[in-house]
Amino acid sequence: MKQQSINPATGELIAEYELHSKEQVQQAIAKAHTAYLAWRKVPIGERGKLLIAISEHLLAHKERYARLITQEVGKPLKEAIAEVEKCASCARYFAQNGQAHLASQPIETEHYKSYVAYEPMGIVLGIMPWNFPFWQAFRFILPSLMAGNACLLKHASNTPGCALAIAQACRDAGAPADVMQSLIIPGSRVEEVVAHPAICAVTLTGSTPAGRAVAALAGKYLKKSVMELGGSDPYLILADADMDHAVKTCVASRTLNSGQSCISAKRMIVVDSVRAEFEEKFSEQFASQPMGDPLDEKTAIGSMSRSDLRDELHEQVQRSVQAGARLIAGGKVPAGPGAFYPPTVLADVTSAMPAYHEEMFGPVAVIIPARDDEDAIRIANDTVFGLGGAVFTRNLEYGEQIARERIESGLCFVNMMVRSDPRLPFGGIKESGYGRELAAFGI
């Protein structure tokens, strides 16, 4: 069997890749373990030099890697370039801060010496998604290598080219040959990797159902795990919000990666007193975002990653409209090749509709009315997800109080879009997963 890489913007076959056999997977794990035993002895300062070299390599070849990302997942090229640049920034962050994060922590006791020490563990298996194929992978690879571990990457089935390019990029930057490898296997064969005694931990970014399945395997084999799962982030627009800023920020968030981000503005919850103004301004700006060839620098919304996912999204929109949602813009599958879906706005969304409860993973904006601030907070928390959230208000102290104490999410921002940053821990609660990536928590 083979994994195919298909350009979702054209439907054309890019390449086919042979799956790794069971024997090849076992050999890869054995080689990774041998590489780990040597790598863990390398002084942490030397490990940091590798991360700097990875950063420099990514920047030197960012256009090539970005084009590969765009071809495999349909991401606008300018966003793909920014993704590679963010990976380089992450590498520099852990190179510069990893040693301090991993420093022993003395603890005062009645004994001669007591301290907490952070030591390498072994091989970390990363199961990563297609939507940010470089960032999600490097987000676990970089701190793992800095900490002295080895890495195996099981990437999404539609991004085998990116998977192999990431492993090669590490080698080209000077990493030992087997300390970072990519496995070309289907999800049905993940258990054979998790079960191996040399695998010390598994980290997954993906859907909640996938997280449940892999977390169950991690529990079965007693492996440490981090699960970064789905999200339906609420963006609260309060009566005193700077409306132009709120609209601009929500449009930017919902447009990012053609709406295929776990932390984009999935549910815009707007208090009644400003709802009409927000709907008008947001719908006009969002619907006018140019959709088309992701290689065109003018494109804001490229192709979705797969036609089947586009069709699932359209079905969610249709069911929501049938249940009473008001379709302001979009909502029609365009003719022609490619997995394109237009910027779509659903208003008057209530709890009786799929758009209220389900994650809309594509360029569909959901506007939910709220009577007042308390009602907006209630709606924000009326979800199984808890990844990110944002509050828009001119009263910064009040906004921070809501963000910190009232919104049930792992991340919450005031007057800005939810984002990941190497300096800040990243992760969710509820059905958005557990554990944290990035910053000191992530290493």
The residue annotated as part of the active site, out of 151, 170, 250, 262, is 262
Residue 29: which of 128, 144, 154 has the closest Cα?
154
Bridge partners (DSSP) of residue 235 are 268, 390
- Is 162 marked active-site? no
Are residues 232 and 349 in contact, defined by beta-carbon separation less than 8 angstroms? no
Amino acid at 276: A
Residue 300: which of 78, 110, 140 has the closest Cα?
78
Are residues 9 and 338 in contact, defined by beta-carbon separation less than 8 angstroms? yes
How do beta strands 199-205 and 123-127 pair?
parallel
Are residues 264 and 256 in contact, defined by beta-carbon separation less than 8 angstroms? yes
Q: What is the Cα–Cα distance from 52 to 35, expressed in whole angstroms? A: 20
Q: Within a 13 Å sphere around the CA of 178, how many CA atoms are in the beta-carbon half?
A: 16
Q: What is the Cα–Cα distance from 283 to 304, expressed in whole angstroms? A: 20
How do beta strands 267-271 and 234-237 pair?
parallel
Residue 281: which of 250, 303, 306 has the closest Cα?
250
- Is 262 marked active-site? yes
DSSP string, 286-335: HHTS-BS-TTSTT-SB---S-HHHHHHHHHHHHHHHHTT-EEEE---PPS
The residue annotated as part of the active site, out of 83, 228, 408, 437, is 228
Tokens for 164? 């192999």
Bridge partners (DSSP) of residue 16 are 4
SS3 label, residue 391: strand
Q: Classify 348 in phi/psi space as left (phi over 0), alpha (psi -120 to 50) or beta.
A: left
Tokens 């035993």: give the residue. 37
Q: How far is CA 392 from the centre of its chain?
A: 23
Bridge partners (DSSP) of residue 434 are 227
Q: Extract long-range pairs of 324-327: CB within 8 Å, 24+ residues apart.
A: 324/348, 324/350, 324/352, 324/353, 325/349, 325/353, 325/355
Residues annotated as part of the active site? 228, 262
